[in-house]
Amino acid sequence: MADLKDLLQSADWKTEKHVPVIEAPDKIKKGEALKVIVSVGKEIAHPNTTEHHISWIEVYFLAEAEKFPYQIGRSEFNAHGDSAQGPNTSTIYTHSELTFNIKTEKSGTLFAVSYCNIHGLWKNSRELKVE
């Protein structure tokens, strides 16, 4: 039987267009607001067409010494050029990117997971130090 962790793929986002890229500072001061941008296709553009697109991105934060992560946010992307006239006939295409701000008192790890309708689940993580 398959396990969910075995379905999460990872690679260097500079060479693989499906990996979510987490942009955030490496260090912040305790109580300081942290701006995070998560996107797919930063270095190599993802097609985001009716046939091949990123459906969603989820972001989690696991604080040091805690057992479970906090879900920070989820964004669904629903405009992929499809319309009543057929695939890729609309002028509306979604760019897979989300921005959020959080505050934390603890260091930890940001995790991002994205879902491509053809190539499945992709993950990435980034350490965050709180001073």
Q: Which residues are catalytic?
A: 16-18, 46, 52, 116, 119
Where in 1-131 does DSSP place strands (E)? 20-23, 27-28, 34-40, 54-63, 70-76, 97-102, 108-116, 120-130
How many residues would you count in the chain? 131
Helix (H, G, I), strand (E, B) or coil at 5: helix
Helix (H, G, I), strand (E, B) or coil at 6: helix
Nearest to 102 by CA among 72, 124, 125: 72
Distance CA 44, CA 121 (A): 17
